[in-house]
Structure 1
Amino acid sequence: MSRFPRWAPVVLPALLALAEAFLVNGIAPGLPLALSLLAAVALPARRRFPVTVFLLTLPGIYIGYIWFAPLIALYTVAARRPDRRLLTGCGLLLAAAHFLPYPLSHLSLSPHRQVALDLVDAVADAITPIAVGLLARTRRELAARLAELTRSREREDRLLADRVLATERARLAREMHDVVAHQVSLISLQAGAVLVSTKDTRARAGARTIRELSVRTLDELRHMVGILRAAGADTEELTPQPELDDLPRLLELSALNVTFENAMSPAGRHSEAVERAAFRTVQEALTNVRKHAPGAAVRVRLSEPDGGLRVEVRNGPPDAAVPAPGLPGGGHGLVGLRERAQSLGGTLRAEPTEDGGFVVRADFPAP
């Protein structure tokens, strides 16, 4: 909410110019007072007709010796019409109206020092409102540009966040397809086996119904997953998803200085969804190391605190001798990992370390 009424910038300058007109020229009717009042009355229209109003104020400063109306009018011209030739002409007119006496026959060029001082004063009075007006216009344009950039950045952030979430949901949909399709296929195969082996009519009818429903469910599932993948811009094939047993192969192909510590129990097993999430966490962390810490030493550790699963990827500071690849990155992969961990009841933390490195730690609850 504005601190001043909207009419204040229009009315207050006119009132100030009216007061100046009476203070300078008195209340006795005459040409100086009339021209000064004309300049004051014309000020409210300065935003719509800046040049015309400025020209109407010139007789006031030349004959009536007023200041506020011409200076305010010239400021408005600079703020509204930033044309160099126009501003130069208006500035020269104001300087001439200030420097030349009325009537013009009273002009005297001696003493020279006083004439020079008067000329400098007239030029300074003409330049000041122009400079302030241009500054105000520039400030207004920068504020508008900054507001537009802020809105554009907010829109881009929202679109990027939506795209990241859609992509991650498409990946989750693909993994759901692998799990559910596998189970439904087994149900269909078992129903087919019953259909072939049994001679009971009712059992055969039930097995046939189960088999038909399984096939229909699988078709609908594939159709829905295809829609989700298209919405998430995910063009990867529906391939089997990796698990923790695939970590050594991932670390071998990472081309990084990686130390792998596996503190898990040999008999400890976790759900496929948890192991896939753990694998993706390590994969994304290694990708970020390549982007932001080239040449850094990496330690990958798996542990089972309280029966759950903890995945920790810790890297040291980057090696200055290793050139950065210059790959784009904004931390959006971590957004999907955090959402995946939360969907499984776990947490994910990613933060810098005291030695200049970075650590990514995901904790998943016990089965």
Structure 2
Amino acid sequence: MTATGASEGAGVRGAPTAGPWWWARRRSAVLDVSLAVVSGLECAVEGGRFAANAQLPEALGLLLGLVVGAVLLVRRRWPVAVVLVAIAVLPAEMGGLLGMVGLYTLAASDVPRRIIALLTGMTMVGGVLTAFFAMRQDVVSEPAFHPPAWFLPVMTMAVCLVMTAPPVLWGLYVGARRRLVESLRERADGLERELSLLADRAEERAEWARNEERTRIAREMHDVVAHRVSLMVVHSAALQAIALKDPEKASKNAGLVGDMGRQALTELREMLGVLRTAEGSSVRRAPASDAPERLAAVAAQAKAKTPAAAPGGPAAGVPAPAPAEPDGEGPCLAELAELVGQSRAAGMAVELSVEGPAGGDADGTGPDYGPGVEQTVFRVVQEALTNVHKHAPGARARVRLAHRAGEVAVQVENGPSARGATDAGLPSGGNGLVGMRERVTALGGAFVSGPTDAGGFRVSAVVPAVAPAPATG
């Protein structure tokens, strides 16, 4: 309940009520008590006068007036009862303040409009009849006053309108305003809840994006640094085998291992520098999401600077480094033959077969694959051949590339290792297959890997010719 008399079921939204009984606030209780005291005094005076005119005990009139005036204490809880009491005492010409305050409270409450209209009409009828008979008695008691016939009806209607219309209209306005404020508060609370949900979802998306970026960065580092370090371990194992047989060749290959180690350190420093720059992107205005692409560019530049192998070539059974990538660009399908040729030079029996025209269209006139598609297919073949070197040394391998309508398929299959169950002794965390799967599925493709019935291993991937656009917003 506000200070103006508008009904309230509670105090401020979300705050506990501080008033006694049905009052939401203490000032509301003070206001109602004050109105009840004033109304009680008014009704007591009018009740005493009515008792004197009706030849009744004056004390009875005073007591009745005090009881009737005190009804205003419950106007917020039972506004209909207050108006009914005011209508009941109209014939006794008492309860003017009681009637006006009761009509205002009734109009401002949540009582149905038809009940408000009914009680307002009853109050007006009762007030007109009471005022008419009171004025008529006054006119009769004044013989010198002879008003026209229309005087009494017009005056009684005017008095009733003045006593009922302003409080009812003001109460309707206050009630409508209160309901509007309540609806706005509910809408504001709803918007606040929605904003909270959006903030939670934004935090979840940010966390997902951070995890995705970490995964992409780890995948890039695995493709570049871990791959090169793996080759260094394989070269070191080969040096142990040829150190006594061919010291000159072993010395040259040792130099190659040193060059590869220095190159790996250089690439690692450059990648860490990119990550630090990405972390400070708020100052440089560089988006952190560009870190993986910049890592790939740094790796490409580092690979372009890789020195040629020492004369004599790599030791038998040792894979050569991956082909250098052009500056700022990743590998493409045209370099698969070179990649396979380097594995052959390292002693692996590899067969490469290509089916269908390049571009993915049956007539061979369609556009080339997107750079992301070609890089993904190249990485799958590179990682698969690396796994053959690491886990199945001496095994025969077959690389099949098929250009189809709207997609490109690749399969790398190797037979059982010529050394049985032994491998090159390289540590493996199983991230190679995971990285291949992530690359292929990120482009909307399909990836399958697993052992073959012959005891070998097979890796298959199908990638759409056009990579899907990244989701925005």
What's the TM-score once normalised by structure 1's chain length?
0.50
Bigger helix fraction: 1
What's the TM-score once normalised by structure 2's chain length?
0.40
- Greater C-alpha Rg: 2
Greater RCO (Cα-Cα under 8 Å, separation 6 or more) = 1
